[in-house]
Structures are given as structure tokens and as C-alpha cells.
Structure 1
Amino acid sequence: MSTHFIELCKLCEQLEKEASRNLKVNIVVDFLRKISSEEVKFAVYFITGKFPSNLLTLNVGYSTIYQIIKKLSNISDNQYLTEYNKTGDMGETAKKIFEIYPPKTQKTFFEQPSTLTEVYEIFQKIAEFTGESSRVKKQRLIESFLSKITPLEVKYFIKNLIGEMRHGFSEGLMEEAVAKAFNVELEKVRLASMVTGDLGKVCEFLKIFGKDGIEKISLTVFQPIKPMLADLAKNPAEALIRHGGKTSFEFKLDGVRIQIHKKNSNVKIFSRRLKEVTEAFPEIVEKIKHEIKADSFVVEGEIIPTTKNGKPLPFQYIMRRYGRVKNLEKTIKNIATTLYLFDLLYLDGEVLIGKPFYERRKKLEEIAPNQMLTPQLITSNPVEAEKFFEEAIKNGHEGLVAKQLESAYTPGIRGKKWLKIKKVLETLDLVILAAEYGHGYRHDWLSDYYLAAKNLEVKPIFEKDYVSFADYVEKIHNDRFKVVGKTFKGLTDEEIKTLTGKLKNLILEKHGRAVILKPKIVVEVAYSEIQKSPLYSCGYALRFARIVRIREDKTIDEIDTTEKVKEIFEKQFKTTTSNFLER
């Protein structure tokens, strides 16, 4: 018998109200045991709000859902914001609004409720829409479905669309529930989930085959697995100490991390999020087919953008290859790539993730040409390691990755077995020009900040010259400052609460959940690099910006300038040719 989506929604409501971790797990255990094997994986996806990215990539944003809610309920912006500001939860907001202002075509008493399978099929259709008109098609489909289901179903449909369940039942708890439901060791469930990248599939196997089903799950070609993650180390010497005095160092490249699967003549490339991106890199596919001496394998590596001379280019160049279907040949011609491999996870029928790193690397060296391998140094000498780090930086790379020689490959796990060591760029002192209220538990706090540098070349700005909110913010301040990025990272919750109180006293204008501020609060900002960007009028943007501290000792007269931002950008890529920098 099919399980109705409303049953799962009621279960999620229970989870939201239940404080006990053990009782939460037991509620889900009972649910997994009673539903069919055809639907159990859908239940795992819908309860956790996580879908394997190789199966579903939804790409539905807050603004799309916001417009749908307004259209179906026929309410104003102020009515929506009034309700949203109570919880900061878009799903709960939609539920409350639809209870008061139901869509005209909402489900009648005599209509059959939607099943888990039917709702998953809707999600599949949403994911299948791509291209220029995809947003409109997605919006129409979501509108149509939301108009036919109950307010409670609307709540959890939306929560799954945006991946914010907020009921306190994480993927880790779901692993516990799956293990308990089918009487399997938790560690086996976790390993199976890491290897498949799909906890729903693991649950389905156990439902069909019982506890012995866990043994049937293994690394399979064309089924991408979660990448192993690295912790941070301050320098090579620290990495040596943490790895017991001797370790493997490799260049840390600034490109896209990929997983390449090959079986006979078939090759597929997956991103670190497990999404297939084969079409974007046809030249890499050809290299793999002709230059690696094995029939069946799974390798990991990095694709970096390069000049014709092989020098690395900024990360943003390689991102132009993602999602480019139109003019792909032209894009390939303009943006050259170089492939570096650094790990081997599977080879001709043998799963290698449990083998030590040095063994996996040796086997990789046996099947791949030397020029395709990430430069490596195995040493116990901190001076040698530091020189290798400087060589990586000199060649335009990010730094090093230290890999413990005996380490197994642990999919999806971040730990000390791999350590990344990056060049630290000088921080910038910037002013907060605008801010937005957060979502979830941060919905009452101004927690997303527009960061700006001083502009020394002030020019008059006219109405026609601004198109984005950042442009408008700059206009309000007579172009004295230029926005160089946004961030919600770096500060503790207590610091955000305190800062919110200060910022509320500096508000000049309100725009929905965004506010424009008097330029007074100076913050020290760290970042991974500075990129060229069309998003901001200054032409630059901070990548992975985070606030280090609030500089109460500094005034806006002392903040860094756009010229300083430009100087740092140019220093980053001094190894690349100037004509690429000016593109």
C-alpha cells in the first residue's frame, strides 16, 4: 500500500516538537519499518531534506518560492514579511499564509492525497527543467502542485525544495535510525552511505535484502562517492608534527575537484557535489581514454584553468565551463585546462579506499603519466617541506595538502589525515554599508553584511547607472564606497546579536529584509582570494569572505581602498600573463 505524503509531513511535525534524540530516532525507525521497499528511499530523502546531487539538482531559490506564495495567496509584500519575520522559516510561513488565504484550487475533500512516489516524481520533473526558460517552467509546476495540497504538505514540500527542514533530525540521526530499523551496525551503515553517497539507496537495500543487504553495497563505477575532506594546518612544520614526523605533501591546486569514472570506453566526470559534468570537459575525457592504462577505474583529481604556457589562472575561469551547453566549443578554445590526478579509489575490480594512501598513490603512478600527477614530496624535513610550499605558491597554486602515508580514504569525512596549508593573504579593513536579516534561528538578526572599501575616484552616479541593490547602496552614499563582497561568516551568535543592536541604530533605509546603513562599523575581513567580478561596480569580489573581528578602534577614514583591493588581486596572480589579468 502506498504511503501518503501527508503521513510523512505529520511525522516531521512530531520530530519538530520532540526534544529527545532517542525518541526522534524511534519515531523514524517505526516509519521506515512500516513503509514499502519502493518508497523507503523517498522517505529518507524527504525526512532529511537531502537528495543525492547525482539524482536531483533542484536549483529553486527563495525568490522563486516567495513569488509563488504571493501569487497563490494574493497577499502583499508586507503581509508576507510580517508572517515570515515571526519565524524566519519559509515553509512555516507558507503554511500559515495558506491556512488564512488558501489558493482557489486547493485540494477538495474528495481528492486522493499525493503519495511519496508522486511527490518525488514532481521533484524529478523540477530537476529536469534546464535552460533559459527553466525558471518559468519550474515556477508553473510548483504553483500547480502547491495549489492542490494541504497547508501542512505545502510546508514540507517547500522545506525540501530549499533543503531546510529545521526539525533537528540530521543525516547522522537518520543513519542511526536506518541501522536500528534493520538491526545493522551503525558503522556499516555510515560506510555504505559514504561509499554510495546515497543513504536512501542504503535503506532500500536493507529493506529488500535484510541485514545482509549491507554487504552487497560497495564502490561501483559510475556511482560517485563523497570526497574525503582536509582539515587546516598553519604551516608544513605543523603538518609534519600532526602526521608523526613524516608525511606526503602535494600541491594544492585552485581548480575544480573532480572524480573520474571509466569502464571500457565509457568515461564520466563528477563534481565534488557528485553531479555529472562530463559534457563540460570533452578534452579531459579524451585524455583519460588514451593516456591512462587501465580498463576500469575511479580516480580523483583537479582540473585547473591554464594559459597556453600551462600557467594557472584564477579559479573563476574554470567555472565558466560549468553548465555551458551553448558555445561550448568557443568556451573550450578560450579556456584551456590541465588535469592533475591525486588519488585512485578503484582499479579493475578492486576497491582501494581501505588501502593506505602511499599504496593508492603507487598504483596511480603505474597507470597514469607522470605529467598528469599532482607534484608530490614525501619528507620528514620541515625545511624541505617549506621550500616545497614556496614552490607551489611561486607557481601560482594555493599551497599544499599533507596526506598521512598510512591513511585510508574516508569518503565525506574531514579529519587530520589530510591537512591543507594555504598562503595567508593580508586582511582588509572594510565598512558595513548594508545588511540583511538572516533565516532560521537568525531571522531576527542582521547577519548578512555588504562589505565596502573606500573609493578614491568618486564620480557622480545617476539613476540609470545602478541595477543591483549593491549599486543602489553605493548611490545612497554618493559613490564614496564600493561594495566588494557579502558575508554571513566569522562572527559568533553573541557577536551577531550585539552587532545587530548597533546596526539598527544606523539604519538609513529599509528594503524588505535588507537595510542600508550609515557607514560607521569597521570590520577586519579575511578571504581566500580576490576575483574579478561583474556583480559589483568596482569590478572585484572577495571569495569566501569572513569577518575576523570588529575594529572598534578604527574609523571609516582608515578603511582600505579599492586601489588596495586591486593591488592584492594583481599580486595574487603575478605568475600569470598580464593580458589574462586584463580580460
Structure 2
Amino acid sequence: MAGERRSSKRGDEVRVFSRRLSDVTGSVPEVVEIANRIPANEVLVEGEVVGLDDTGRPRPFQDLMRRFRRVHEIEQLRAEIPLRLFLFDIIYKDGEVLIRKPYRERWDLLASLVPPDLLARRIVASTVPEIESFLRDALDAGHEGLMAKSLGSDYAPGKRGKKWFKIKPAETSDTAIVAAEWGHGRRVGTLSNYHLAVRGGPTGEWAMIGKTFKGLTDVERLAMTRRLQELKTSESEWVVYVRPEVVVEVAYNEIQRSPHYPSGFALRFARITRVRDDKGPSDADSYDRLRSLYEGQFARKGAAVREP
């Protein structure tokens, strides 16, 4: 699931906040209506807001962001992209701070307060096959993956680790590095933000599909800097442009439409997983394959494909 994270209620006043604590209350009136169903005077809960298509399946993340960013003509977009709220945690209720209570107790309290249709679907699993089966069900339903929480864990704001973590499949693409930016901070003096591209863009050239500075170790980044400087074709103040000879395998969460790149696409949460020294430029993924993967995402979500 994906979406906004936290809702608070004080009497008749409901506020909805994003992961970064931006107030998006005015953009999601149906979430406010749903939160008012919680029988408590003061309560702070966590959950996910999901945008639905006509069949009830989750819509792509970008469509959801349209709802959160809209401040005018809300009702029109509400009809186009209806929202559902799925709650999975409670942090505060009527004067009692709950963050030190184990998750099993917080869940039991939440389940006693809200109707079943507002609760996120969950299982209590003790074996890998159980988790794998539940993950397949989630993916088949159009969700991105699962969130796993230890039943004994307290609430740790903004943190993940061994007690809280996401489970979802990682898609990968073989892309060529066509440029890189000089780093800042601990990456100063090295080329660290890599411009990624696929073969055969809309007009036949290399088509950029994103950037990433994630994935390489300090030693690997230094070696990559030396390697890319040998491939340099031109340079500006911050960017070194190179021949597209270095192929890297990149893991990503989703392919999105993007107005920022001529390809019309961008990889969301891209991260280099390995340098493919066994592959040359002709082995990098093509624009057609990227588009096919993009269309496949919509097929899984049951949504119509839109042109980039």
C-alpha cells in the first residue's frame, strides 16, 4: 500500500498528515469523514490511504499523489480517484500515550475501536511459506507489498529495522551511465549522482530515465569516478558527460511517467545493485522494454495505460 500516513482527531476536528508531516486534510475529505467514525474524543492513528480504480483495485502511486496535491476542485477529483483508508496502528487515545506498549496491544485496542472495514488486512505468521502466500495475495490484488511488524515492538517514529520492515519484490533494469554529478558532503571529490539511460529512445538516442547516488560503497564510487573520467566527452561545472559504456543493474520500486526526461519515464527509488562488467552498451535495456514493463505495472493494477 502507499499513501498518507497519520490522522489525528480531537473532538470533531480531524487532521490528516503525510509521512513528512505535511497537512493534507483539505485534499482528502473522505478520509476526514472516515476518521470521524472512530469512537474516541482524542486519537492519533496510523494507516495508508489507497486510491482505487473502478474495479476497486489500487491505482498507481502517481494518481494518489494527484489527490494529495490538489487544493481546488476537490470534489471533481474525488469522483475520479476515490480513496480508502486502512488503519494499522494507534499511538495515542484520550490522554494516554501508547508508543511504549507492544504492537499486539496497540492492534487489539485499534481493532476494538474501529469497524473491520477500516483495518488493514493482516496475518500473524510464523513461517516463510505463510508470508510468501500472503505476499502473493497482496501483489495479485495490486498492492506493492507488505509491512512486517514484530508483535512485541514498541512504536519507533520514522524508524525501520529488524522489528519493522517492508517486504516487496524489487524490479531491476540494466541501464547505461551517460553522465554523473560531482558529490557533496561525504561524497565530495567523487562522481556520485549517476544519470541512467536506456537504448533507443523515442528519437533513437539514449533516453535518460532517472538518477541515483545510492548503491555503491565508498571504494566502488571512487573506482567508478576514475572509470567515468576516462569516458568523459564533455563537462559542465557539476556534471561530467560520458560515453555510455558502463552498464549497471538498477533496482527500483516503480516506473513512473515523468515530464522531466525526454523518455517520458522515471525509475522511482532507483538504486545500483551491481556493475555489469559482463555487459556492453548493446546489452542495456531498451526503451521498448522499459515501456513494456511500465504497461505491465498497469496490467497488474488493473488500470488503463496512459501515454508518457
- The TM-score, its normalising length taken from structure 1, stands at 0.51
Query: Residue 270 of structure 1: which of 11, 17, 32 is its match?
Result: 17
1:442, distance to aligned residue in structure 2 (A): 2.4
Q: CA deviation at 1:581?
A: 4.6
| Aligned counterpart in structure 2 of residue 304 of structure 1, from 25, 47, 50 | 50
Does the aligned pair in 1 maintain the 2:201–2:207 contact within 8 Å?
Answer: no
SS of the equivalent of 1:319 reads helix
Counterpart pick for 2:254 among 523, 529, 553:
529
Counterpart Cα distance in 2 of 1:383 and 1:481: 42
SS at structure 1 position matched to 2:67:
coil
Cα distance in 1 between the residues matched to 2:105 and 2:9: 20
Which position in structure 1 is the counterpart of 2:164? 418
Matched letter for residue 23 of structure 2:
E
Q: Indicate if the aligned counterparts of 2:60 and 2:301 stay in contact, CA closer than 8 A.
A: no
The one of 6, 11, 35 aligned to 1:288? 35
Gap regions ≥5 residues in structure 2: none
**Superposition deviation, residue 568 in structure 1:** 1.7
Quote the Cα distance in structure 2 between the aligned partners of 1:434 and 1:525: 15
Q: CA RMSD, aligned part only? A: 1.9
1:405 to 136, 141, 151: 151
Residue identity (%): 43
User: What amino acid is the match of 2:49?
Assistant: I
Residue in structure 2 matched with residue 445 of structure 1 by the alignment: 190
The SS at the match of 2:21 is: coil
Greater radius of gyration (CA)? 1
Aligned position for 1:570: 295
- Deviation of 1:417 after TM superposition, in Å, equals 1.5
Q: Which amino acid aligns with 2:255?
A: I
SS at match of 1:567: helix
> Following TM superposition, by how much is the alpha carbon of 1:325 offset from its aligned partner in structure 2, in angstroms?
2.2
- Closer, same or farther in 2 for the Cα pair 1:380/1:445, shift >3 Å? closer
Q: What's 1:489 paired with?
A: 214
- Cα distance in 2 for partners of 1:521, 1:533 equals 24
- Is 1:435 the counterpart of 2:180? The answer is yes
Cα distance in 1, alignment partners of residues 279 and 84 from structure 2: 44
In 2, Cα distance between the equivalents of 1:443 and 1:381?
45
**Aligned counterpart for 2:104 among listed residues 339, 358, 381:** 358
Cα gap change, 1:445 to 1:379, in 2 (>3 Å): closer
Aligned-residue offset at 1:431? 0.7
Unaligned runs of 5+ in 1: 1-252, 460-478
Matched, 1:544 2:290: no
Deviation at residue 331 of structure 1 after TM alignment? 3.1
CA distance in 2: counterparts of 1:261 and 1:435, whole angstroms? 43
Structure richer in helix, relative to its length = 1
Determine if contact 1:393/1:423 at 8 Å carries over to the other structure: no
Deviation at 1:580, TM superposition (A): 5.4
Which structure 2 residues correspond to residues 184-333 of structure 1 after superposition, within 5 A? 253=1, 255-289=2-36, 291-333=37-79
Closer/same/farther in 2, CA of residues 578 and 398 from structure 1, 3 Å limit: closer
Alpha-carbon distance in 1 for matches of 2:209, 2:57: 27
Shift of 1:578: 4.2
Residues 485-505 of structure 1: CA deviation (Å, up to 9, x unaligned)? 111111111211111112112
1:308–1:504 distance in 2 versus 1, CA, 3 Å:
same
Give the TM-score of the pair, scaled to structure 2: 0.93
Distance 1:546 1:496, change over 3 A: same
More strand by share: 2
User: Secondary structure of 1:302's partner?
Assistant: strand
Q: Partners in 2 of 1:267 and 1:456 — Cα distance?
A: 47
